[in-house]
Chain A
Amino acid sequence: MQENNCCIEKVINFVKDLEKIYKQEKDNLISMLEEIQEKFGYIPKEAQKELSEYLNIPMAEIYGVITFYSRFTLEPKGKYSISICLGTACFVKGSQKIMDRLKDRLKIEPGQTTKDGLFSIDETRCVGACGLAPVFTVNGEVHGRATVKMLDEVLDKIISDEKNM
C-alpha cells in the first residue's frame, strides 16, 4: 500500500533496509527506485540523496534516470489514480475521448494531481485488457468497455462518496 506524506526518517530507513538487500552496484539503481516508488508512490528527494551516497552516483544522474522512466514520479499520486489506456487497441475504440473527458472534468493533464490531492491522471500503454477495450483503471481496478458516460458515473460516485465521508 502506498504511504503518502511520509516523513524523511521513514524514507531513509526504508532505503537503508533496501541497502541490505541490494549490493552497492550501479545497475541496482532502477530496481531500488522501483521499490521506493512502489512503497511511497513517488521518489522522495531524501531517497534520491541516500541512493546517491550508497551507489556513488551523482544526484543529477539519478534524477535523469527518474525523469526518463515514466513509472517513476517526483510527486505523490492522488488518492484516486486514474489511468487511461492509450494503447492502439483502446485508442481505436475511442479511449482518447475518455481521456479528453477526464482532463476536462478534472482540469489537469496526465501526470498531474488535482489540487485537493484526490485525483491524478496517467496515460498508460496497454494494460493488457485489449479484449475489454477501451479501458481505464482506478487504483489498478480495471473498468472495461468504457464510455464517457461510464467514466462520468465512476467519477461522480467517488466525488459523492468523498463528500459523505
Chain B
Amino acid sequence: MKTIEEIHEIRNLKRKELDIRVNTKADTREKHILVCHGTGCTSSKSPQLLETFRKILKEKNINNVRVIKTGCFGLCAKGPIVIIRPEDTFYAMVKEEDCEEIIQKHIIEGERVTRLLCKDIDGKIVNSLDELNFYKKQKRIALKNCGVINPEDIDEYIAFDGYRALERVLNEYSQDDVIKIISDSGLRGRGGAGFPTGKKWELTKMAKGEQKYVVCNADEGDPGAFMDRSILEGDPHAVLEAMEIAGYTIGANKGFIYVRAEYPIAVKRLQIAIEQSREYGILGKNIFNSGFDFDIEIRLGAGAFVCGEETALLESIEGKRGQPRVKPPYPAQCGLWGKPTLINNVETFANIAQIILKGSDWYSSIGTANSKGTKVFALGGNVNNIGLVEVPMGTTLREIVFDIGGGIPNGREFKAAQTGGPSGGCIPKEHLDTPIDYESLKEIGSMMGSGGLIVMDDTKCMVCLAKFYLEFTVSESCGKCTPCRIGTKRMLELLEKLCSGEGSEIDIYKLEKLAVNIQKSSICGLGQSAPNPVLSTLKYFREEFRQHAIEKECKTLECKALSKITINPEKCKACGLCQKHCPVNAIQGEAREKRTINQDKCIKCGTCISACPFHAIGN
C-alpha cells in the first residue's frame, strides 16, 4: 500500500529520471536503449535483443545505460525496432548479431551505426524518430505512452501523470462532473459504432441497480486490426485507470476486462498491471482515501469474433456461448447478470485519463465537427509502412496511405482501402480525399469500425475480397438468427460461384437482395454489417463483378478459375529462371527452350511473374 504522498513522490522522482525518454536535449550521461516488445517485434525475436544488449553491457561493465522493454512504436514493418534515447536514434530490423556493434559504436564511440538506421520511403536515412514521415502527421493520445514507458513498471506509468486523473476525479469531482467532462469532450466509442461515451456513462449511471459493472471490451477480433492489443501491451495502466474512473462515475465497484486469449503478451501485462495496482492500493478498497472501492478481473475470450459484440461478450463472461441478445434492452439497463453495465473498448478507455487532465476543451479542439479527438488505425496490406498510426479525426485517407503509410510498394497502383474489417467497406481511389470520421465513412459505404485499415493495390480482386470477408463472417457467425446463419452462407456461395466462373448476372442481383435483407433483419451488429463488404465493393467495383459473372474474367490472379498466367514467347529468353522458382513444377521446357506453363498444374502464385527478368510473364 502506498499513501497519496508516496505516489506523488514516486511521480516526481521517476519523472526526472525518465526525462531522457521524452526530451532529446536531456542533460544526462545516461542512455536508455528501448527495445520494442509489441507482438510484431516479439515475433521477430526482440526479447533476444534485450538479453543480448544486457549481456554485452554487463561484460563491458557499462553502467550508465539501461535496456528497457517497451510497447509498440507503431512502425511494425521495420521491426524489431531499437531506439536509443535521449538522442532518439531509430534502428530498424535489428538482429541479435547487430547488438555488439550498436554498443560498441553508438554507446562507446558515440557514432551512429549508419547501416542499421531506419530509411524512409524515399531512401533517406533517418537519424531520429520524428524525422520519419510516418510520425509527422500523427498525434498520439491513446498511444501516448506506447513505446515510451516500460509497461510492466507501474512507476513509469505514474511518472507520466499516471493515476493523477483518478486521484483528481475521486477527490474533486462529482459523478456528474465527470459525465459532463466526457460528454463535452465529444469522445465517441472507438469500438466501431461511435456511440457518445459520455451519454453511455450517463445512461449507466442513471440506471437503477445496487450492483453495476464496468466492462472493458478487449476482444479485438477484426482481422488485421491490432490497436487495442498494442495499447494493452504498451500502456495497460491507462485502461485500468479509466475503468476505475468509469466505475466511480456510474457507481460500480467491479470491472471485467474481456481480452482475447490469443493475446498472451497483453494478458500477461494486464495481469502484472493489476497486481501492481493492487499492491499500491490503487485497486482495491478505499482508493486514494476516497471511500471508493474497485477491483478488476480478467476474462479470456476463447476465440469467437462475435464476442466483440457487447451482448455476446456479456454472455461469454457469464460462461455461455457468445450469442448476442436482442437490443433493447441495452447493457446500460440490463447487462452482466442482468445488472446495469458499462461497456467501452480499450481505445475509448485509453483517452479518458487525458481528457480528465487536459480538459474537454482541449480534446474537442481536435478532430471534426462530430468526431472529436484522434483515432488509431492498424495500417496494413499493400502499403510500405505497415504499423500502428494515431491521427486526428478528419485526416484524409490519402494522408494516411501516402504520407504516413509511404504509399504502395513495388510501384503498384492504389486500388482501394478497406476500413472497419468484416463490418466495413471498401473505399476506392475517388474517395481518397475524404476526411475520415464516423459520418463521412458511413456516407461512402464503409464504417470506422475498430480501426483496421487495409490497403490494396491493383493486383487485388474485389470479388475475392468480398468473398474473403464473407468467409470470415460465415465462420464467425454465432448461428443464432436465421439471416446471419443461413443468409451469409448463401452470400458466400454466390460469391464462390462468381469467383469460380459459374456465376451469372442474376447471382449479383441475388447477392444484393440477400445483403439488404440480412442488414435489416439480423439480431446483432455482426449480422447487420456482414453484407457491408459486398455492398460497398458492388457499389464501387460493380464492373468487376460483371466481368466475373458475364465475361468470366478476373483481371487479377486471385480467381484461379478465371485467370491464366502465360509466357509471352516473344519476350521469353529461355533463361529458365521461372522454372527454377515455380513451387509446383508447372513450367515446362528444356534448357534453351522457350518455356510454357502447364495450366493444370499452375496454382497462380505469381512467383514466376516476379522471377522473370524480362517481364515476359503475365496474366
Name A's B-contacting residues (CB within 8 A): 25-31, 33-34, 64-65, 68-72, 86-94, 96-97, 100-101, 124-133, 135, 142, 144, 147-149, 152
Contact = CB atoms under 8 A, between A and B. Distances in A.
Contact of B605 (A86, A127, A148): A148
30 contacts: A27-B319, A30-B299, A30-B300, A64-B321, A68-B304, A69-B302, A70-B304, A87-B224, A88-B454, A89-B223, A89-B224, A91-B468, A92-B382, A93-B381, A97-B603, A125-B262, A126-B224, A127-B43, A128-B38, A128-B226, A130-B224, A130-B378, A130-B386, A131-B79, A132-B40, A132-B79, A142-B43, A144-B43, A147-B607, A149-B583
Q: Which of B40, B300, B316 has the most CB of A within 10 A?
A: B40
Given A26-B319, A33-B302, A91-B468, A128 B381 contact: no
A96 B302 CA distance: 24
B221 interface: yes
B478 A68 contact: yes
Given A92-B381, A152-B583, A65 B320 contact: yes
Contacts of B39: 127-129
Nearest to A151: B583
B304 A126 contact: no
Contacts of A124: 262
Interface residues of B, number: 54
B394 interface: no
B421 to A, nearest CB: 7
Nearest to A25: B319
B375 interface: no
A107 B50 CA distance: 41
Interface of A is mostly: helix
> Which 3 pairs of residues, A with B, have the shortest CB-CB distance?
A131-B76, A88-B224, A89-B380
Interface string B467-505: 010001000001000000000000000000000000000
Interface string B62-95: 0000000000000111110000000000000000
B288 interface: no
A37 to B, nearest CB: 8
Contacts of B22: none
B223 A131 contact: no
Nearest to A67: B321
Given A125-B305, A131-B76, 13 more contacts: A30-B300, A30-B319, A34-B302, A68-B321, A72-B303, A88-B381, A91-B468, A92-B460, A97-B603, A125-B223, A126-B223, A129-B43, A129-B76
B380 A133 contact: yes
A86 B222 CA distance: 11
B322 interface: yes
A71 B316 CA distance: 14
Interface string B113-133: 000000000000000000000
A65 B262 CA distance: 18
A31 B263 contact: no
A134 to B, nearest CB: 11
Contacts of B378: 89, 130
A119 B44 CA distance: 23
Contacts of A148: 583, 603, 605, 607
Contact of A30 (B75, B263, B316): B316
Contacts of B421: 88
A88 B418 contact: yes
A132 B303 contact: no
B229 interface: yes
B44 A27 contact: no
Contacts of A31: 299-300
A27 B583 CA distance: 49
A100 B583 contact: no
A70 B303 contact: yes
B287 interface: no
B454 A89 contact: yes
B218 to A, nearest CB: 13
Nearest to A94: B605
Nearest to A125: B223
Interface in B23-48: 38-40, 43-44
Nearest to B40: A131
B471 to A, nearest CB: 8
A88 B40 contact: no
Nearest to A128: B39
B169 interface: no
Contact of B44 (A69, A86, A93, A129): A129
Given A34-B302, A88-B223, A131-B386, A71 B456 contact: no
Contacts of B75: 131
A43 B456 CA distance: 40
B302 A72 contact: yes
Contacts of A65: 319-321
Contacts of A97: 603, 605
